[in-house]
Structure 1
Amino acid sequence: MPVEHAVLAREAGDADRTQAFARYSLVGGLAGAAGALAAATPHLLMRMGWSQLEGLRAMFVSCAVLGLAGGLLYSRLPLSPSTPRADHAPVLGPSRKIVYKLAALFSLDAFAGGFLVQSLFALWLFHKGLSLSASSAFFFVSGILSSLSYPVASRISKRFGLVNTMVFTHIPASLCLIAAALSQSLGVTMAPSH
C-alpha cells in the first residue's frame, strides 16, 4: 500500500490528488467489504453439505488464486520512471515543521487504531455469541459505509481543508471507539465501532 500511495501521489496532479486518493480508497474499501462478506463462504458451503474443513480449504485456495491474480495484474503494470520536475522544491524545505506535526499526528492515530484490529474485534464478537455469517454481514455493511465516507471526505476537505477534515472526523470516531470499548452490550459496541 505505501508503494501504491507513492505512485498515486506522483501520477495524480496537484488539483486532482485528493479525489484520486478518495477513488482509490473507495475501491479498496469496497473490495475489503466484499472480502468480509466472503468470509461467510465456509458457513454457506456447510449448508450445502460440505464439511467445515472442506469449506475452509476452499476459501484458502480461493485466497491463493486471488493473490496470484493480483500478482499477475501488478506484474503487467507499466514501469514509468519518475521524471524530475523543473520546479522541484528541496526536500521538505519550509514545510518541515508541518510534515513533522502531521507525522506525529498520523503516528498517534495509527497507534490508537492498532488497538482495534478487525480480527480481535471478530474474535470478541464470536465470544459474545455472534455467528460467522452475522459477523461477516456486520463487517460487510461497516466496510461499505466506511468506503462511502471517502468521497464525502474529499468533498468536505475542499471546504474545510485536508487537515481539519481529518482531525475533526477522527476525534468523534475515536470517542465512539472508546465508548464501544467500555460498553458491555453487543448492540452498543457494534453501533459506533465502524
Structure 2
Amino acid sequence: MAALKSLGHRAFRESGLQSVYTTGLDAYLIILSRSCRMFAYGASSLILALFFAELQFSDYQIGLFMSLTLLGDVILSLCLTLVADHVGRRRTLFLGSILMICSGTTFALCENYFVLLAAAVVGVISATGGDFGPFRAIEESTVSELTNPDTRADVLVWYVTTASLGSAVGTTTSGRIIDWLSAREGWTLLDAYHGCFWLYAIMGLTNMACSAMLSERCELKKKAPEGGSGETAPLLQETTDDGVAKPKEKASWVSQISRETLAIVGVLWFLLMVDSLADGMVSMSLTTYYMDKKFHLPKSTLGDMLSTSYILSSVTNIFAGPLARYIGLVNTMVFTHIPSSTAVLLFPLPKTISLTFALLLLRVGLNNMDQAPRAALIAAVVKPEERTAVMGITGMLRTLASTTGPSITGVLAGNSRFWVAYVVAGALRLAYDLGLFALFINIKLHKHEPAGEPTGEERREADEEEPLPTLTSI
C-alpha cells in the first residue's frame, strides 16, 4: 500500500499536477479560460473557410480575409499587451473577452463580407485555429508571475495541454452540430454554420467570468525600494553610474524593454516569424479546406479527425514538462517539433485518406509540445517586468508573419497548386528548428529570477515528506 501511495505521489509530481495544485485558484481560472477559448477556436477553425466557401467567396477572398484578420490581431495584441501591466492584466483580459463576444455574435448574424471582416479585424476571431489574440501573452506572463522557475514549465504544460483538449472537443462538437442542424427541416448548411458561431460568443462569456474572478496576485508585483520601507517603487527604474537605482521622473504607460533583452529575443523573434509564416500557410482552417476539396469528406468526419489529432496533442503535451526537466527547454522544443515539421512537408503526398490522417496525427500530435517550453524559455531570459511586453510582441510578430501565409496559399489554391504550400511550409519549419537549436542550445537561463527559490532537488526532497493531497483538500 505504501509503495502504491509512493507511486501515486511520484506520478502526481512528475506529471506537473502538483505544480498546478500548489499555484492555486488563479492558475485554475487561467487554464479554464484558455481551454474554453480554444474550444471556440477549434470550432471556428473547422468551419471558417467552409463558411466563406458556402457564401460563394473566392479562394482569393478567403485567403485575404484570413490575412487581414491576422493583421487585426497584430494591432490589437500589440496595443493591449504593451499597456496591460499598467492598466491591469485582469482588466485587459476582461476587455478582450467582450471583443470576443461581439465577434462571435456578428458571425452568427451577418453574411456581408466587409461586415464580417470588420468584426474579425476589430474583434477577436481565430482565423487559423491558433491563439494569436491578446489573451495568450498576458496569460503566460501571469502564469510566470504566479510560479517559480521550478514549477513554471509544469503549469504552462497543463495550460497548453488543456487547450489542446479544448480544441479537440470544439472541432468534434462543431462538426456534429453542423451535420445535425443541416439535416433538420428548414435548415440550410449556411444556417448551421451561423448557429455554430454562437458557441464562440458563449465561450467569450465564460472567459469574461474567469477574468473577473482572478485575484490581485495576477498583477505585476512592484519592486520594493532597497531602503526597506513599506512603500513600493515605480515599476520602471533607471540606474546611475555608481550603480544606485532610482525611479524615473515619469512612469510610462507602455512597458519598456532593455537592450540586453532585445539582443536575446531579437534572434528568437526572427526564428519564430519563420515558423509562423509556415503555420499561416497551412493553418487548420486551410487544412480542413484542403482535405475537403481532396477527399470530399462529411463535416462530422473532418471534425472527428481534427478532434482525434487534438486529443493526441493533449496526451503528448503532458510529457513536455518532464522532458524539459530532463533534457532542457531548447532540446524539448526542437526534438518534438522536427517530426511535426516533416509531417507538414510530406502532407500532400498520400493519395489515401488513411495516410493523410496519419500525417495529420503526427503533425498536430507533436506540434504543441514546444509551446510551454517556449513560454518558459522567454520567461527565463527576460526580466519579470518585461515579460508581458516581450510575450505580447512575440505574439504580435508571429501573427504578423502569419498574415501573409493564407494569402499565398489562397493564390496557390486558386491556381491548383495548393500542395506547394505544404512543401514550402514544411521546409520553413525545419529551418526554424535547426536555427533554434544552433543559436539557443547554450543560452543562460534565470539570470533575473529572485534569489532563494528552492531547487528541483530540494523541492523533491520536501515533497517526499509532505502527504499527498486528498480529493477533499483539492
Mapped to 2, the partners of 1:4 and 1:138 lie a distance apart of: 29
Q: Which residue of 2 aligns with 1:5?
A: 140
SS at match of 1:51: coil
Q: Does the 8 Å CA contact 2:172/2:304 hold for their aligned counterparts? A: yes
Q: Does the 8 Å CA contact 2:178/2:300 hold for their aligned counterparts? A: no
1:25 aligns with 2:160: yes
Mapped to 1, the partners of 2:263 and 2:222 lie a distance apart of: 24
Q: Return the letter of the residue paired with 1:30.
A: L
Q: Does the 8 Å CA contact 2:171/2:303 hold for their aligned counterparts? A: yes
Q: Does the 8 Å CA contact 1:180/1:190 hold for their aligned counterparts? A: no
Q: Does the 8 Å CA contact 2:178/2:299 hold for their aligned counterparts? A: no
1:142 aligns with 2:309: yes
Mapped to 1, the partners of 2:223 and 2:323 lie a distance apart of: 30
Mapped to 2, the partners of 1:96 and 1:19 lie a distance apart of: 26
Task: State the structure with bigger RCO (CA 8 A, min sep 6), 1 or 2.
Answer: 1
Q: Return the letter of the residue paired with 2:348.
A: A
Q: Aligned match of 1:132 in 299, 311, 314?
A: 299
Mapped to 2, the partners of 1:113 and 1:56 lie a distance apart of: 25
Against the structure 1 CA distance between its residues 50 and 70, is the aligned structure 2 distance closer, same or farther, given a 3 Å change threshold? farther
Q: Which residue of 1 aligns with 2:179?
A: 43
Pairing of 1:72-111 with structure 2 (within 5 A): 72-79=209-216, 80-84=218-222, 97-111=263-277
Q: Which residue of 1 aligns with 2:113?
A: none
Mapped to 2, the partners of 1:96 and 1:39 lie a distance apart of: 41
SS at match of 2:319: helix
Show structure 1 runs of 5+ residues with no match.
none
Alpha-carbon offset, residue 54 of structure 1: 4.7
Q: Which residue of 2 aligns with 1:151?
A: 318
Pairing of 1:46-85 with structure 2 (within 5 A): 46-47=182-183, 49=185, 51-52=187-188, 53-79=190-216, 80-84=218-222
TM-score scaled by length of structure 2: 0.37
Greater Cα offset, 17-26 or 172-181: 172-181
Against the structure 1 CA distance between its residues 92 and 154, is the aligned structure 2 distance closer, same or farther, given a 3 Å change threshold? farther
Q: Does the 8 Å CA contact 1:33/1:141 hold for their aligned counterparts? A: yes
Show structure 2 runs of 5+ residues with no match.
1-135, 227-237, 239-256, 365-474
Q: Does the 8 Å CA contact 2:153/2:321 hold for their aligned counterparts? A: yes
Q: Does the 8 Å CA contact 1:25/1:150 hold for their aligned counterparts? A: yes
SS at match of 1:39: helix
Against the structure 1 CA distance between its residues 85 and 148, is the aligned structure 2 distance closer, same or farther, given a 3 Å change threshold? farther
Instruction: Count matched residues.
Output: 194
Mapped to 2, the partners of 1:50 and 1:4 lie a distance apart of: 42
Mapped to 1, the partners of 2:262 and 2:206 lie a distance apart of: 40
- CA-based RMSD of the aligned residues comes to 2.8
Q: Which residue of 2 aligns with 1:115?
A: 281
Provide, for residues 154-188 of structure 1, a one-character-per-residue CA deviation record: whole Å limited to 9, x for no partner: 11111111101111221221111101134444332
Identity of aligned residues (%): 24
Provide, for residues 74-99 of structure 1, a one-character-per-residue CA deviation record: whole Å limited to 9, x for no partner: 23323443224579xx9667676543
TM-score scaled by length of structure 1: 0.85
SS at match of 2:348: helix
Q: Does the 8 Å CA contact 2:142/2:219 hold for their aligned counterparts? A: no
More helix by share: 1
Q: Which residue of 1 aligns with 2:347?
A: 180
Provide, for residues 90-130 of structure 1, a one-character-per-residue CA deviation record: whole Å limited to 9, x for no partner: 96676765434433332222222222111101111211211
Q: Return the letter of the residue paired with 1:122.
A: T
